[in-house]
Structures are given as C-alpha cells and as structure tokens.
Structure 1
C-alpha cells in the first residue's frame, strides 16, 4: 500500500483542480499565524509535500497529520523530511531530529502523540511544525486530543481530506471534520471519487466490470460510496458547511508518447498494477452466477498484458471541493 500511495503522487499532481487549490491557499493565507491544519488520512505524506513544494501553505503552519495505518506513518516519517528539505519551508520542533513525529516504535505500537514545537523566535521565514500520529481521525477521542498535540485548543483552521471521504462513512466523517474545525474553518477535500472508472483500449467486459466494481463500493465494502463526489455537493450544506469551490480532478494515466520516452511516467506502472489488483479483489467477492470467474480472469489477464506492454490507459473521475464551516 505504501508503494501505491507514493506512486500516485504524480497522478494526483496532474489531477488536482488548480482553481479549487488556489482558493484553498488564498483562504488559508488569511487565518491567524500560525495556521492550524489537520489532515485526515495522511497516508505517506504526499499532500504536505505537495503543499510545501507548491508554496500553498502560510508562512508558519502547525500541521497535524493523522492516519490509522502505522506503516503509513512510518513511511511518512522516513520520507517527508527529505522531500521538504528542498522547499522554502523548514520543519521545526524541540526534537533533535528537527521535526515532530511519533515515537520510535511506530511500526508496532498504538502510538502516543508528541508535542509540536512552539515556534517562538527560533525560525525565520516559512516553517512547518509537523506532528504525525497513528489514530482514527473519525474518533471523537482522537479529535479531542488535539490540544495535547498542537499546543492549543483542538480546533483547526483547516481540515485536509484527500482521497478520503469516498472510503469512509460520509455523514460520520463530516461530523468529525466539523468537530475538528473552529467556526469558519475550511474543509479541503480533493480527489473524491465520483462514479467513473475506465480503461483503454476497450474490452467487451468493461461496462459490466465497471458496474460491478462500483456496486462493490456501494453495497459490499465496509464504508464509502462510488458517487461520494456528487453527494458532497448536497451533504456539505446539509451539515452546516458553505460551499466555496468545486471542480473535477480526474486521474488520467497513459503510456508516454514516442517523443516522451517509453513506458509510464515516474512509478505510475506501480499505481496501475495496484488499481488492477484492487478491482480484481472487489470482483472476486461476487458469486459465479453474478460474474463468471473465468471472465474476470480473462479481463484481468488482458489488462495486465496491456500494462506490461505499455499499452494500457486509465481514467477515473473525481471531484475536489472546498467548503467553510458556518458560524452557528
């Protein structure tokens, strides 16, 4: 999973709706210093890397990163400092490592939080006080513990939830996000899946495969939905949020053209391999009278061959949204 999360960095980079991102950055620039940001489902840290590299964070930012998978947090702890080193931001705290993180036994324990640095007078220019933590971002206990992590009250000026809301219970997630935000706080939810998965070249089973894959998201998988992106447009106002911006953010992965080189950009072959595995695992949940296993294997074999020969392209539709928690 960590290799997939890292591999999709370049895919997300292309997909992100720049208009929604710019509005988020502009809104965040107007909050008190330092800006307090919480990310739900931090993964291996690609969003904070991107925001720092692209100069989208305020000069001083307190960034609390939560993920329920200890292996994700361990991977982020290993990679984020190196990725941020070339940016105009510095990671600051009271630890010798120069950044706040979970304790050393990250891979095996349920982790306690650690205090983020007080900025004080120790840094000049742009800086990020970063805390990584293993936890369930949708748990009230996790959100309520923010004062122990960030050195202030639990409310943040912004919550980032990238590629997150479509794999959790949406209403529960919006309640947790509202609890994490101060009145007037921002929700930035990019790369929210919205009901389209396609491959090229076409295959006779494509429509059926897509339909069953989305049905798995809606009816079989523990949480999430195949149309969360569009659902957000109604659910946010119903849950006390004002919509500020929304736009498409489609994943498009294709082989390089002849003048671009060969194969796929960066590690996007790994990304596509994981997408195919994920679809196959979902389809395997159906009995033979719904989908013949031989048909599933034949479709997958064709797609894997096309991927190996750098012939496979992939498109998935997403929605990026930015909303503000209304003052009640």
Structure 2
C-alpha cells in the first residue's frame, strides 16, 4: 500500500487524522480500486471444501476480512487476522462481528476472537496481535488454503515473505496481494511550479525505496512489479494480475465516500517526507501544501496512484 502503512510510519504528520480514521475512510476507495478480474479469479479459486482456512497479513481495521467474508463460498471458514496494532485489531473485531450479525449469524466472543454460526455453517476469526517478523501460524505448515495481503507488501522484505507464505500454504494454495504501490503518484491540476512538485513527489517515492526492514530492503516504491518477479522465483505460478489504481478525483467539485479525508492525509504524508529530506525550505513546503489544500477544499484537487493486484498459486 501503499498509502495505508506509510501513514502508519509517519504518525507525526502535520495533518491530525487518526490512523484508524484514515483506514476507515479509504475502505470504499480500496473497494472500488481493486482489479475486478483478479478479484473474480481469486473468488473462483477459493476451495469449496470445509473448512476453508485463510490468513490475512496486516489486517488493520479488517477490510480484507470483510471482503473475504463476502466472497467466500458457503463453507465453514477459519480466518486468522494478524496485525501489530492492538487498537486496529479491536476495531476489526467489532466490525467483523457486526458484519456477521447483519447477515444472520449468531456471534459469540471466544478468547482468540469470534465464533459465529448460521444454519450449520461456522465462521471463526482469530485476531492475533504480533509483528510479522516473528509470526508463525498455529496451523500445520503447508495447510493454509489462502493468504491475503492488502496494502502491506511495500513494507516487507519480499523474498523473505514469499518464502514464508509458500511454506505456510498447502499445495495449490493461493496468495492474493492487493493494492501494491508501484511507483507513481500524480496530482491534478498541474502545479504552477511543476518542477518543484515533481521533486517533492520524487522524494516521496525515494523515502520508500530507502526503507529497510528486518535488515533487508522492503518492497518499496515498486513493490507491485517486484512482487511479481519474486513470486515466480519462490515456487509460485502467476494466475492473474492487473492495475488497482487509486482514483481520488472530484466529480462536480464533490469527492466520493471518504476521499477528501484520504487526500488530506496523503498531502500530509507527502509534505512530511519532503520536509525530512532537508531539500526544501519550510516556507516553500508550506506554500505548496497550503495551495494544494486550498484546491482540495474547493473540490478541485485530484490524485491518481498506480498500484497492482496479484494472484498466485503455490506450485
């Protein structure tokens, strides 16, 4: 992601938008941005036998869990949802329980998460608070049917994670990775000082390229295309992939869903990374941020972010 987890790393942003509010605001944006052909193939490939065992990496407020519940076949379902932020997992747990109740499930709290039942069907979701560097699933290695990673692979060492995912999945298990940032953020209309904005956006991308995790390079600003290569090198067959670009643009000066909140947060992220670089004066960045924020308030500012969804099968 792109933007989701990058915001988590820059909580000192000058824009005071709580991280969980940002995640909630971008739920609809992510939903309409997902590549439908890749999503449809993922739904088609979900096994029909019970129980369907799934793992969600970097759960956040539970967006992928809700989408999986909407896509999964009418089988028993066991989801393990992992995130290092306990507050976000609490929101995910409440939202998942509400989602299931709305669909007629009898929902009970259990130590690991929630257990729900409806007409003989059982859906269990375990919420695990932990760092992915140390996480290992409770299931036997090679027994998970599907693993999901939404807007998180740009923060992780791709080869290390691909090898672990391959170990966790059963033969012919599937890995569905969505909204992988892939190197382009564009603002509209063109800024008066186009060269300045290009430098600012270049710094934004460079900050992701320079990030290291677990003593290794993260997926970074080209995580989509890099993940495509790495999966092929670690025992996966690529099934489907395609663009899942964010299109945060106004229509008749009105933003859809929570887009204005997302755009406000993204301007703050971009400004913060530019400020940390030391390459711009404070006055220069303040002027850029103020003018772009004024465009946003007037319903004139647009932003398009290039991202890639991938679906791969363990060979």
Pairwise TM-score range, normalised by the shorter structure: 0.7 to 0.9
Length-normalised TM-score, structure 1? 0.81
How much does 1:220 deviate? 4.5
Q: Which has the higher contact order (CA 8 A, sep 6+)?
A: 2
Number of the residue aligned with 1:255: 250
Provide closer, same or farther for how the CA distance between residues 99 and 184 of structure 1 changes in structure 2, counting only shifts above 3 A.
Answer: farther
Moved more, 244-253 or 296-305: 296-305
Q: Is the 8 A contact 2:57 2:83 kept in 1?
A: yes
2:266 is aligned with 1:239: no
2:292 is aligned with 1:303: yes
Separation in structure 2 between the aligned mates of residue 275 and residue 58 of structure 1, nearest angstrom: 38
Q: Is the 8 A contact 1:194 1:228 kept in 2?
A: yes
2:313 is aligned with 1:320: no
Q: Is the 8 A contact 2:219 2:227 kept in 1?
A: no
Query: What aligned pairs does 1:102-141 form with structure 2 within 5 A after superposition?
Result: 114=112, 123-124=118-119, 127-139=122-134
Number of the residue aligned with 2:64: 47
Deviation digits for residues 96-137 of structure 1, max 9, x if unmatched?
xx244xx5xxxxxxxxxx2775x8xx6426542111110123
Length-normalised TM-score, structure 2? 0.84
2:79 is aligned with 1:63: yes
Residue in structure 2 matching 1:161, options 149, 164, 168: 149
Separation in structure 2 between the aligned mates of residue 58 and residue 201 of structure 1, nearest angstrom: 47
Could you list the runs of 5+ residues in structure 1 that have no partner in the other structure?
93-97, 104-113
Number of the residue aligned with 2:259: 268
Separation in structure 1 between the aligned mates of residue 233 and residue 40 of structure 2, nearest angstrom: 25
How much does 1:279 deviate? 1.3
2:270 is aligned with 1:279: yes
2:23 is aligned with 1:23: no
How much does 1:58 deviate? 4.5
Q: Is the 8 A contact 1:138 1:173 kept in 2?
A: no
Provide closer, same or farther for how the CA distance between residues 125 and 249 of structure 1 changes in structure 2, counting only shifts above 3 A.
Answer: farther
Number of the residue aligned with 1:230: 225
How much does 1:60 deviate? 2.1
Number of the residue aligned with 1:108: none
Separation in structure 2 between the aligned mates of residue 76 and residue 306 of structure 1, nearest angstrom: 33
Q: Is the 8 A contact 1:244 1:324 kept in 2?
A: yes
Residue in structure 2 matching 1:72, options 85, 88, 109: 88
Moved over 6 A (4+): none
Larger % of strand: which? 2
Moved more, 314-323 or 152-161: 152-161
Alpha-carbon RMSD across the aligned residues, in angstroms, is 2.3
Provide closer, same or farther for how the CA distance between residues 280 and 59 of structure 1 changes in structure 2, counting only shifts above 3 A.
Answer: same
Query: What aligned pairs does 1:83-102 form with structure 2 within 5 A after superposition?
Result: 83-87=99-103, 90=105, 98-100=108-110
Provide closer, same or farther for how the CA distance between residues 218 and 187 of structure 1 changes in structure 2, counting only shifts above 3 A.
Answer: same
